[in-house]
Amino acid sequence: MMNKNEKIHCIGIGGIGLSGFAQILHEKGTVVSGSDMHESQITDSLKKKGIKIYIGHDESNLKRTVNKVIYSSAIPESNPELIKARRLNIPTVNLSEAIGEFTKKMFTIAICGTHGKTTVTSMSTLAMIAGDKDPTVMVGSNLKELGNSNHRLGKGDYFVVEACEYKRNFLNYSPKIIVITNIEADHLDYYKDLEDYKNAFKEFVGKLPEDGYLIANIDDENVGDILKGYSGNLITFGSGKGNADWVLRGNKIEKAGEFVGELNLSIPGTFNMMNALAAMALGQILHIEREKTIEALNNFKGAWRRFELIGKFNNITLISDYAHHPTEIKSTVGAARERYKGEKICCVFQPHQYNRTKNLLSGFSAAFKDADIVIIPNIYKVRDTQKDTRSISANDLVELIKEHGVKAYNLKTYKQIKDYLSKNPDNIEVVIIMGAGDIWELGDYLLNS
């Protein structure tokens, strides 16, 4: 674990993960500096907290007094600061390795799965705070309950972390408790196929010690495949289809067949009720009073860009959401349809990565069946090759969505989208701004321009 006498330089500090970890180190007394390609709300916030921030990557940003360099997974080997660090024999570790070092010293609770990680991490955090566990936390979004922050430095022994499976990053962690929300093929630019993807989770579960616990969604078939080879301490949750320990029936919670409470969440969607059930199971292991856990869950207002109500534009309700996988889109639009019955719903969706769009194309094209209108402005490029960018376009997806009976448009600029919504020829009442790239900026544009 990093200590107060160390000086740490973080390359890619503007990312949601590294920014949170950098702030934990900073608050522990470590001297932290960092660089990022662009200024952002995150870099501005870090500056205000006293962290030295450099905009742009240059070897001059890295001082010889630095003891260690931490870099995000988005940083290439050709980064000048990384090259200089290695030339000077300054130890370099990627973010997942740095977090892994941290997890060895604490009672670590790792929340993993294809969907729902951020929400379950957030809910678990609030339940643990309510239960006086005082956890240290890293979550993949900002929480109002944490002062619009993505981290928390606690005084207890617990560390709650959203565990990312990309490039098998979570295998660097040393968890005592693992929560698996669900498993569905993703990150196919790295994983060979679904089996390869599932094998990463199997390996992660295999890292649990004998006195560790696995909390798993028994409704999920792929999670079931993981459980077949697991013989350790297991707590399951589900909708009652299988023989789960924790069961959700409507909004009522049962434990071993007995009624234990009722969920009345502030955030919509059956999938969020299941996320809450996972947090209930965790509360059992940590001996948190059920009433305190339920109260914390019911009061949770939702994380940043997780079905976040951001305001109104010309009397149109604007919602911002991070969904970037077909299953997430379907669940989010379904939740909107449930909440805004009878209203016309438009999704402005920015696919994240050409490679993912191509690999999951049939799923994306069918995911918007509960929407009335879909706008695809562009595809957000990240980790894509020239071959990837030539293989699929935003308009290709628009045409496939139309085949499913949903109106769809390729409006390329924020101005075009604003003009369309201003004229509102389709009488839209709700707009969901959706995706994992920079599409969230459309919300600010509509509200402030």
- Closest CA relative to residue 293, chosen from 279, 278, 275, 273: 279
CATH of domain 106-299: 3.40.1190.10
Distance CA 186, CA 197 (A): 8
Task: Please give the CATH architecture assigned to the domain spanning 7-94.
Answer: 3-Layer(aba) Sandwich (3.40)
Reading the block at residue 31, the tokens are: 């001297």
CB 360 within 8 A of CB 445: no
Distances, alpha carbon 408 to alpha carbons 194, 203, 426, in Å: 30, 41, 11
- Closest CA relative to residue 128, chosen from 102, 157, 149: 157
- Closest CA relative to residue 293, chosen from 182, 425, 127: 127
Sign of the dihedral through C-alpha 163, 171, 327, 262: negative
Q: Mean pLDDT by 10-residue block, N- to C-terminus, for the chain (449 residues)?
A: 77 92 94 93 92 96 96 92 97 96 96 92 95 94 82 94 93 97 89 94 96 96 92 92 87 89 85 92 96 93 78 94 88 89 95 92 93 96 89 94 95 95 92 91 90
Give 415's Cβ-side CA count (13 Å radius).
0
Amino acid 169: pLDDT: 93
Residues in contact with 341: Cβ distance below 8 Å, sequence separation at least 6, in sequence order: none
Strand, helix or coil at 382? coil
Decide whether 106-299 matches 308-448 in CATH topology. no
Amino acid 4: pLDDT: 60
Residue type, 69: V
CB 52 within 8 A of CB 34: yes
426: buried, middle or exposed (CB in 10 Å: 19+, 13-18, 0-12)? middle
**Partners of 71 in the beta sheet?**
11, 94
CB 118 within 8 A of CB 303: yes
DSSP result, 214-232: EEEETT-HHHHHHHTT--S
Distance CA 129, CA 146 (A): 11
DSSP E strands in 113-191: the ranges are 136-143, 149-152, 158-162, 177-180
**Partners of 346 in the beta sheet?**
373, 431
CB 41 within 8 A of CB 64: no
- pTM assigned to the model: 0.79
- Ordered by start, the domain boundaries in the chain are 7-94, 106-299, 308-448
Amino acid 3: pLDDT: 59
Amino acid 426: pLDDT: 87
Backbone φ and ψ for 283, nearest 5 degrees, come out as -55, -35
The CATH topology of domain 308-448 is Protein-Tyrosine Phosphatase; Chain A (3.90.190)
Reading the block at residue 255, the tokens are: 């434990």
Sign of the dihedral through C-alpha 390, 396, 397, 398: positive
Reading the block at residue 441, the tokens are: 């900026």
CB 127 within 8 A of CB 296: yes
Amino acid 446: pLDDT: 94
291: buried, middle or exposed (CB in 10 Å: 19+, 13-18, 0-12)? exposed
Amino acid 88: pLDDT: 96
91: buried, middle or exposed (CB in 10 Å: 19+, 13-18, 0-12)? exposed
Amino acid 434: pLDDT: 94
Could you tell me whether strands 308-313 and 316-321 are parallel, antiparallel, or unpaired per DSSP bridges?
A: antiparallel
Strand, helix or coil at 10? strand
Q: What is the DSSP letter of 163?
A: -
Amino acid 303: pLDDT: 66
